[in-house]
């Protein structure tokens, strides 16, 4: 599956290190995996490393502490800031839900105190491992992990974990970093069976905005709080500046988490690409006249009665929670509404069902007719496609073994076949949950 990312790497010396500990997100059966007891003896871990701040990679970290974990959790500085937001927001949402939360705010705060940060390309020693973080180009602060076992008992010394690789070149970030060598590569396969269409997300967004400006309707955009929202704000900023969008067309950011994340993005101009660094020199790449941050639920509800064209960006990206649900309940039955999907939609999520053409959906137990126009774009995907994955892996020399993870079986199988055909690798594993692989 695509969510719940987590690995334990054990050295020839017997020491172990944890890589990521993400939430399982998706269908009820997948969500139930979060409630299973964590089976590993956390007191045996020499340390932990986080690739990036998406919940499917960091969202279970607080469960480590009650299990006896004593070490630090390493990551980039930007990932530290964003993960703090993610964990505290997750604890808040869980408290308001009807299921037993995995952790509370106090445990999230204790976990955050374990964070240790390191710059890209600066090796750090964790037990018997030397870990170097490389720029994955996926979201702000995202990292590829280059892990060297300093006390190996086999020919395998360097293991690389791709984390989530970016869709390079990307609108905001530097390009995904290439590595020269590794003995074993553990690689994501989210889009392992497809190529991203050659299309401009900015052109598609501009078309959606022009449509609601002409009709007086509402453009609803469910967006992930990390990276996708900032991309949208940056595109709209340029549309406003260039006159491609009406100066009087209001834009509402209806996501408290996205607001906090956007402030974090503003702290790190040095790790963006050249274009964004230039935008920082003249102003705020993610701000513009006519942007309103919606602070409260009452202010969000007030959007229902606001007349005229408007753009509302709200969480969550797959429409699995957050303020987008209340907005969708009100606006989807209105024919002048346009719903613009800008990210990956997991199987059986509300976003997936609407995009599949369902004309009636259930939201919080309410049957909602879908009369809105629904469109999507793959031009904003933050994951590498099959061609990019092959190019990244093909650059790494001396690879003895490839392990494909973080993908549904169709994409994983397709990528494994492509790796064999194009790169000649025959030692490719497709592990299942809890499987142990001897290197």
The 10s digit of each residue's pLDDT in 77-92 is 999 999 999 999 999 8
Q: Are residues 220 and 344 in the same domain?
A: yes
Rounded Cα–Cα distance for residues 45 and 73 (Å): 11
Q: Are residues 222 and 119 in the same domain?
A: no
Domain for residue 434, yes or no? no
CB atoms within 10 A of CB 248: 10
Q: What are the angstrom distances between the C-alpha of 334 and each of 30, 216, 217, 327, 361?
A: 33, 12, 9, 11, 14
Angle in degrees, CA 151, 152, 154, rounded to 5: 160
Task: For residue 354, give the nearest of 380, 366, 336, 372 by alpha carbon.
Answer: 372
- Three-class secondary structure of residue 210 per DSSP: helix
Rounded mean pLDDT, 315-340: 94
**pLDDT reported for residue 339:** 98
- Three-class secondary structure of residue 124 per DSSP: strand
Is the pLDDT at 36 greater than 80? The verdict is: yes
Angle in degrees, CA 188, 191, 192, rounded to 5: 70
pTM score, whole prediction? 0.93
Q: Where is pLDDT greater, at 12 or 308?
A: 308
Q: Are residues 314 and 220 in the same domain?
A: yes
* 345 confidence band (pLDDT: 50, 70, 90): confident
* 176 confidence band (pLDDT: 50, 70, 90): very high
Domain for residue 145, yes or no? yes
Burial of 10 (0-12, 13-18, 19+ CB in 10 A): middle
**pLDDT reported for residue 156:** 86
Q: Are residues 186 and 235 in the same domain?
A: no
Are the beta carbons of 380 and 344 closer than 8 angstroms?
Answer: no
**pLDDT reported for residue 433:** 93
Half-sphere exposure of 83 (CA within 13 A, CB side): 35
Q: What are the angstrom distances between the C-alpha of 149 and each of 9, 10, 258?
A: 10, 9, 38
**pLDDT reported for residue 76:** 98
User: Which of 370-402 are b and which e, b meaning 16 or more Cβ less than 10 Å from the residue's Cβ?
Assistant: bebbbebbbbbbbbbbbebbbebbeebeebebb
What's the CATH code of the domain at 224? 3.40.50.10890
Q: Are residues 53 and 155 in the same domain?
A: yes
Q: Are residues 62 and 133 in the same domain?
A: yes
Q: Are residues 76 and 183 in the same domain?
A: yes
**pLDDT reported for residue 25:** 84
**pLDDT reported for residue 96:** 74
Q: Are residues 98 and 227 in the same domain?
A: no
Q: Mark which of 338, 355, 376 sits at the end of a domain.
A: 376
Task: For residue 316, give the nearest of 258, 379, 376 by alpha carbon.
Answer: 258
* 328 confidence band (pLDDT: 50, 70, 90): very high
Are the beta carbons of 262 and 140 closer than 8 angstroms?
Answer: no
Where is average pLDDT lowest: 148-152, 197-201, 328-332, 369-373?
Answer: 197-201
Q: Where is pLDDT greater, at 165 or 200?
A: 165
User: Which of 290-310 are b and which e, b meaning 16 or more Cβ less than 10 Å from the residue's Cβ?
Assistant: bbeebeeeeebeebeeeeebb
**pLDDT reported for residue 154:** 81
**pLDDT reported for residue 349:** 86
Task: For residue 318, give the nearest of 338, 342, 296 by alpha carbon.
Answer: 342
- Three-class secondary structure of residue 309 per DSSP: coil
**pLDDT reported for residue 378:** 80
Token look-up 């995202």 returns 142
* 98 confidence band (pLDDT: 50, 70, 90): low
User: Which of 414-431 are b and which e, b meaning 16 or more Cβ less than 10 Å from the residue's Cβ?
Assistant: bbbebbeeeeebeebebe
* 170 confidence band (pLDDT: 50, 70, 90): confident
**pLDDT reported for residue 13:** 86
* 178 confidence band (pLDDT: 50, 70, 90): very high
Sorted by sequence, the CB contacts under 8 Å of residue 95 that are 6+ apart come out as 101, 104, 105
Is the pLDDT at 245 greater than 70? The verdict is: yes
Range of the domain at 209: 201-376
Tokens describing residue 231: 């991309």
Rounded mean pLDDT, 23-32: 85
Domain for residue 439, yes or no? no
Domain for residue 174, yes or no? yes
Rounded Cα–Cα distance for residues 244 and 65 (Å): 51
Domain for residue 310, yes or no? yes
Is the pLDDT at 199 greater than 90? The verdict is: no
Q: Are residues 120 and 240 in the same domain?
A: no
**pLDDT reported for residue 409:** 94
Number of domain units in the chain: 2
**pLDDT reported for residue 31:** 86
**pLDDT reported for residue 423:** 97
Rounded Cα–Cα distance for residues 91 and 88 (Å): 5
Domain for residue 438, yes or no? no
Tokens describing residue 3: 């969510």
Q: Are residues 296 and 407 in the same domain?
A: no
Is the pLDDT at 263 greater than 90? The verdict is: yes
Q: Are residues 182 and 213 in the same domain?
A: no
347 DSSP 8-state letter: T
Q: Are residues 400 and 372 in the same domain?
A: no
Question: Mean pLDDT across the chain, nearest whole number?
Answer: 94
pLDDT, tens digit, for every residue of 348-368?
A: 889 999 999 999 999 999 999
Rounded mean pLDDT, 203-208: 96
Rounded mean pLDDT, 143-153: 94
pLDDT, tens digit, for every residue of 225-237?
A: 999 999 999 999 9
**pLDDT reported for residue 28:** 81
Task: For residue 30, give the nearest of 349, 429, 361, 354 by alpha carbon.
Answer: 349
């Amino acid at each position: 599956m695509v969510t719940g990312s987590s690995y334990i790497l054990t050295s020839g010396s017997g020491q172990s290190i944890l890589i990521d500990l993400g939430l399982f997100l998706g269908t009820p059966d997948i969500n139930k995996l979060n409630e299973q007891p964590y089976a590993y003896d956390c007191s045996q871990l020499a340390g932990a490393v986080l690739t990036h701040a998406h919940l499917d990679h960091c969202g279970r970290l607080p469960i480590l502490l009650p299990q006896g974990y004593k070490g630090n959790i390493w990551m980039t500085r930007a990932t530290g800031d964003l993960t703090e937001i993610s964990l505290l927001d997750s604890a808040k949402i869980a408290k308001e839900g009807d299921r037993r939360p995995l952790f509370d705010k106090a445990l999230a705060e204790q976990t955050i105190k374990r964070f240790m940060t390191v710059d890209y390309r600066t090796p750090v020693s964790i037990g018997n491992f030397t870990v170097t973080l490389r720029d994955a180009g996926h979201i702000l602060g995202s990292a590829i992990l280059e892990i060297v076992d300093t006390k190996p008992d086999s020919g395998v010394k360097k293991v690389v974990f791709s984390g989530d690789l970016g869709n390079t070149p990307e609108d905001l970030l530097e390009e995904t970093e290439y590595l020269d060598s590794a003995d074993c590569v553990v690689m994501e396969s989210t889009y392992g069976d497809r190529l991203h269409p050659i299309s401009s997300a900015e052109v598609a967004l501009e078309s959606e905005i022009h449509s609601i400006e002409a009709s007086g309707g509402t453009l609803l955009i469910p967006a992930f709080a990390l990276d996708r929202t900032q991309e949208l704000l940056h595109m709209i900023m340029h549309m406003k500046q260039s006159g491609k969008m009406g100066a009087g067309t209001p834009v509402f950011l209806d996501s408290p988490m996205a607001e906090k994340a956007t402030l974090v993005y503003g702290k790190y101009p040095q790790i963006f690409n050249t274009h964004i660094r230039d935008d920082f020199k003249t102003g705020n790449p993610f701000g513009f006249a006519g942007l309103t941050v919606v602070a409260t639920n009452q202010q969000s509800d007030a959007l229902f009665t606001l007349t005229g064209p408007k753009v509302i960006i709200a969480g969550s990206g797959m429409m699995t929670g957050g303020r987008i649900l209340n907005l969708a309940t009100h606006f989807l039955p209105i024919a002048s509404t346009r719903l613009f999907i800008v990210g990956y939609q997991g199987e059986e999520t509300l976003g997936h069902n609407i995009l599949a053409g369902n004309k009636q959906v259930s939201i919080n137990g309410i049957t909602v007719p879908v009369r809105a126009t629904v469109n999507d774009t793959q031009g904003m995907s933050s994951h590498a496609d099959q061609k990019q994955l092959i190019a990244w892996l093909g650059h790494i020399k001396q690879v003895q073994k490839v392990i494909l993870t973080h993908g549904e079986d169709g994409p994983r199988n397709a990528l494994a076949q492509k790796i064999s055909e194009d790169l000649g690798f025959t030692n490719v594993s497709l592990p299942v949950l809890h499987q142990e692989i001897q290197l």
